[in-house]
Structure 1
């Protein structure tokens, strides 16, 4: 097989360490900075590279790290897995996403254990499982955002074979799979890329230090490596899409942005494979260009998470008004109505949290499936000091209201694992750093961060094994009330969405919302459906709706619709057609 590595920093030479042998590599005259050597080797063979007589390092494009990020790489045959289930793909339009963390979805924390729970996910009615990052990181357990080998798969989860088995099982259950990937930084421990070449640049600074080099000298190969890893994941594991972490931190001043190149490459791969493939961005910019097609000078990503919708919904449900929630809390129902009809709340308006104007308006003709709407996700739960889900502080009726607005909104809906039954287990920030100094810094930094924001309660030790264990789902909850009733409600709502596929093919400006700020009711008309919620804790809402509408589902059996008025009990929701 051909071993190759881009190592422009190597002046004296590169040696391929193949098991116990050291084999000098040759410069590739056609590709500056590249070293190659063809030698016999099969799957599982351990190897690494030594630059200028230095220590042996793992391959920067390693497909497998069986002994962790600091160990030798292992040869992988990407085409060796025998797929059991043919798969033509599932498009983003019409999708219902389910965010899942492999390490806490089950106590075992592996791909195979998660796959055994996929029948539950399929019965729920969602279309795609969205896995949090699975790139290798030091230790066993963590969120995955400190991965250091973008082409590989975390070995404690099951490695590349485990991911293939999980995706195959998902396809057998009729579920697509989306994978969260991180291109904006690598973790603080086990990152050996800088030894090989200019993978990072001091030209830009990010929250994690020097930026990934997307626009400085040598950036052609860096862009090719990160883009190539994304395409390899989609191709080799038959994934349906990728979620791109924090794209607003991708510092790129080149004329053609990295996201533009990546979306074009993914579209080309979709055409080649005959499967619909998509990219979903996490972006803090509220920038319409993120999902605007490349033909009209956008980046061409297929969707983006809509944090503004989350913030508006969260404030309306909880009354929280601190920090980034302050602007939404001034008139919560109005803020929620604005996000449901305009997508962004901050569309050029002043953001007190940022101390400046923020965002730009979306075109009313924007397809609504390009925005992903949610009431909870890993960030919005895990970055709370107690890792508390909405179910800890809200009654089932308000959880039912949240579900109705998310699952029947104009947007592509997403649930966070366990949300469908109102899980009350926390989801905390946890790490397993093997470097004791880094572990101490993370522990102390986490406590200091929350103390600076006025939190005087306990902050779980990220390094304690119990922190991860507490974050695992309790699979006995769905068997008892109120969890069972919430699960049935979510199943009914998703079935209604599936029965009305036109919801996924509307434009942003087509939705209509009425509300009352004081009595805390809101009614959303989206396509043929009207979704009404009453968030008030003690008063029945009189919601004006056309008399000819048919009641399809209601959280409270006391709901009545007659003479053009829906009487909706406190903390309840109804769906009409």
Structure 2
């Protein structure tokens, strides 16, 4: 008989089975909160090595408890499903079977159909809760047309505001967002609307405040250092249970919260030299779970290694993850449109790199990186474009700027449309960052709410030092300030204003075309890309019937172009009046094949033609 799950498991007879791995503890008791005489049930060290367990009768869901370690301290459960009083408070017993799901018919959608929309639960709405997002699902699905909502990390973090990457209770959805039931209601509503749900999870590190894992066991190792301190212990002494902890967490979101895909944060900071890497083991476990559930489950990595091993099949020596973010695509696009060359942007800014990013995902692929002062990356080994998630903005590339300024405040209106076209018409998987679809101007700044004043001051100092490193001379927003958080909230009503409504209409049209034209689907055939260096233009032929023109030139240019076989009609032009353009700058409505046409392109113009028989 397999051992019981870790954490607090509700049983049919009203009892709760408590189980914890704690090699660093001599003894553990369960301290139940909210009773006239708190029950102290001593747990016995039986079964698997260093595992303490006990079954306590008559424990209703909602009961709060601590583990009392070594007779002198109360600590939350490492597998806590809910921390209603925050990271330092007691854990709460949760019955995962109590929620009435309505998505029994949900079978997911193919990854190739994903049009992702990344959002932060705390700043997407004024309320900053899971439930508040539900009211906007029709906007996302019906009005905009995206197919998958990607939620930034929700594991319990200190205070009420944070990006989510400082979580310390990996199994506990953030209390200020609405806790377990709030997240379940959101996922259930997404599935009812036909939207897949991607959850951002962080396994390369945990936050500091409220992180009591070191008191239970060797969850961390000094063998490797990360930007956040000691690495998570995936291959040192005691790592078997740490690996299990992380894989249990991945499967927990899939099973108990019906999550469709996990975005794995910064896997380059996961250090594991085991015979089987933790990412491969996680992928195998996720695939087995998906087969049991009868629906697909995907793992999407974030990595700056530019190593195809992450997405290469295990038979070819890879980990087999389904896709990865393409930072190189973003860096190429951003550098071309803004002219910025500071920091890692010094490696980018050429049109041939943009071409390569679309075709191969990696630009830094075994070539010298001036930013790193070394050769970086490896070619993508012919991995299909659908293995790469592309974007013009995301939480990192916006929020890691000193002021958190969005692309809408850095480039022209026409260039914003070009960026949208480059992302949504590429053969890759597109991702939008909340608000970009109408040109949101509110910044997305870095914010925290540490209760520990020492940590709060440390994050202020760290943010200031980062700004100095980038040559910043102005004021740095205080990450601990409530104002920094409030300043970062969206104003979704902007989409009804001019010129935001025109930009929103352009996004709508791009997404509609992507979904309706088979040749624009990631599986719709090869993408033949041609570069026109003198005119700073790219043309993409998608399949047999779609040709896309993208001008990265800041001035008017004439582009000689020959259209193959048949007659081509214009389906989309960023200069259409409905998209805030100028009608006199429209490209021809129809072009004959086998003739060289001179297309007079306005700055940053984007257009799409379809071949008709």
TM-score (norm 1): 0.97
2:403 and 2:476 in contact (8 A); partners too: yes
CA distance, structure 2, for counterparts of residue 67 and residue 185 of structure 1: 23
CA distance, structure 1, for counterparts of residue 251 and residue 373 of structure 2: 39
Moved over 6 A (4+): none
Query: Where does residue 14 of structure 1 map in the other structure?
Result: 28
- In the alignment, structure 2 segments of 5+ residues that lack a partner are 1-15, 577-584
**1:197-236 alignment, distance < 5 Å:** 197-236=217-256
Query: Where does residue 559 of structure 1 map in the other structure?
Result: 586
Query: Where does residue 538 of structure 1 map in the other structure?
Result: 555
Describe the SS at the equivalent of 2:556. Answer: coil
**1:325-344 alignment, distance < 5 Å:** 325-329=345-349, 332-344=350-362
CA distance, structure 2, for counterparts of residue 400 and residue 14 of structure 1: 59
CA distance, structure 1, for counterparts of residue 77 and residue 122 of structure 2: 25
The answer as to 2:538 corresponding to 1:522 is: yes
Shift of residue 230, structure 1, vs aligned partner: 0.8
Deviations 1:279-299 (A, max 9, x none): 000001000010011222210
1:9 and 1:195 in contact (8 A); partners too: yes
TM-score (norm 2): 0.91
Shift of residue 143, structure 1, vs aligned partner: 0.2
CA distance, structure 2, for counterparts of residue 465 and residue 560 of structure 1: 48
Say which of 211, 217, 221 aligns to 1:191.
Answer: 211
CA distance, structure 1, for counterparts of residue 113 and residue 56 of structure 2: 48
Deviations 1:352-411 (A, max 9, x none): 1111111111122x2221100000000000000111111102111111111111001011
**1:133-172 alignment, distance < 5 Å:** 133-172=153-192
Shift of residue 560, structure 1, vs aligned partner: 2.1
Shift of residue 91, structure 1, vs aligned partner: 2.2
CA distance, structure 1, for counterparts of residue 443 and residue 241 of structure 2: 41
1:136 and 1:148 in contact (8 A); partners too: yes
Deviations 1:34-67 (A, max 9, x none): 0110012121011121121121100000101110
CA distance, structure 1, for counterparts of residue 155 and residue 547 of structure 2: 42
Shift of residue 14, structure 1, vs aligned partner: 1.1
**1:449-488 alignment, distance < 5 Å:** 449-488=466-505
Give the structure, 1 or 2, with the largest relative contact order (CA under 8 Å, sep 6 or more): 1
Q: Larger deviation: 420-429 or 19-28?
A: 19-28
1:368 and 1:506 in contact (8 A); partners too: no
Q: Larger deviation: 1-10 or 126-135?
A: 1-10
Say which of 528, 531, 538 aligns to 1:512.
Answer: 528
Q: Larger deviation: 307-316 or 545-554?
A: 545-554
CA distance, structure 1, for counterparts of residue 524 and residue 387 of structure 2: 10
Shift of residue 549, structure 1, vs aligned partner: 2.2
Describe the SS at the equivalent of 2:465. Answer: helix
2:65 and 2:90 in contact (8 A); partners too: yes
Deviations 1:198-227 (A, max 9, x none): 000111111111110000111010000111
Query: Where does residue 4 of structure 1 map in the other structure?
Result: 19
Q: Larger deviation: 298-307 or 49-58?
A: 49-58
Shift of residue 79, structure 1, vs aligned partner: 1.7
Describe the SS at the equivalent of 2:287. Answer: helix
1:541 and 1:570 in contact (8 A); partners too: no
The answer as to 2:606 corresponding to 1:573 is: yes
CA distance, structure 2, for counterparts of residue 567 and residue 258 of structure 1: 53
2:144 and 2:508 in contact (8 A); partners too: yes
For the structure 1 residues 137 and 543, does the alpha-carbon distance in structure 2 shift closer, same or farther, using more than 3 Å as the test?
farther
Shift of residue 516, structure 1, vs aligned partner: 2.8
CA distance, structure 2, for counterparts of residue 511 and residue 341 of structure 1: 8
For the structure 1 residues 316 and 543, does the alpha-carbon distance in structure 2 shift closer, same or farther, using more than 3 Å as the test?
farther
Say which of 289, 307, 311 aligns to 1:291.
Answer: 311
CA distance, structure 1, for counterparts of residue 372 and residue 426 of structure 2: 28
For the structure 1 residues 343 and 14, does the alpha-carbon distance in structure 2 shift closer, same or farther, using more than 3 Å as the test?
same
- In the alignment, structure 1 segments of 5+ residues that lack a partner are none
Q: Larger deviation: 398-407 or 446-455?
A: 446-455
For the structure 1 residues 194 and 507, does the alpha-carbon distance in structure 2 shift closer, same or farther, using more than 3 Å as the test?
farther
Describe the SS at the equivalent of 2:112. Answer: coil
The answer as to 2:131 corresponding to 1:131 is: no
**1:48-63 alignment, distance < 5 Å:** 48-63=66-81
The CA RMSD over aligned residues, in Å, is 1.4
Describe the SS at the equivalent of 1:152. Answer: strand
Shift of residue 503, structure 1, vs aligned partner: 3.7
For the structure 1 residues 319 and 543, does the alpha-carbon distance in structure 2 shift closer, same or farther, using more than 3 Å as the test?
farther
For the structure 1 residues 543 and 115, does the alpha-carbon distance in structure 2 shift closer, same or farther, using more than 3 Å as the test?
farther
**1:57-136 alignment, distance < 5 Å:** 57-86=75-104, 87-122=106-141, 123-136=143-156
CA distance, structure 2, for counterparts of residue 500 and residue 507 of structure 1: 9
Shift of residue 536, structure 1, vs aligned partner: 2.3
1:368 and 1:504 in contact (8 A); partners too: no
Query: Where does residue 197 of structure 2 map in the other structure?
Result: 177
Query: Where does residue 420 of structure 2 map in the other structure?
Result: 403
The answer as to 2:447 corresponding to 1:447 is: no
Shift of residue 159, structure 1, vs aligned partner: 0.2
Q: Tell me how many residue pairs correspond in the alignment.
A: 571
Q: Larger deviation: 415-424 or 517-526?
A: 517-526
The answer as to 2:403 corresponding to 1:380 is: no
Describe the SS at the equivalent of 1:104. Answer: coil
Describe the SS at the equivalent of 2:222. Answer: strand
Query: Where does residue 47 of structure 1 map in the other structure?
Result: 65
1:200 and 1:213 in contact (8 A); partners too: yes
Deviations 1:428-470 (A, max 9, x none): 0011111111111111221121112211122111111110111
Shift of residue 505, structure 1, vs aligned partner: 4.0
Shift of residue 545, structure 1, vs aligned partner: 4.0
2:124 and 2:133 in contact (8 A); partners too: yes
Describe the SS at the equivalent of 2:18. Answer: strand
Say which of 262, 267, 271 aligns to 2:291.
Answer: 271
CA distance, structure 2, for counterparts of residue 541 and residue 161 of structure 1: 57
1:367 and 1:506 in contact (8 A); partners too: no
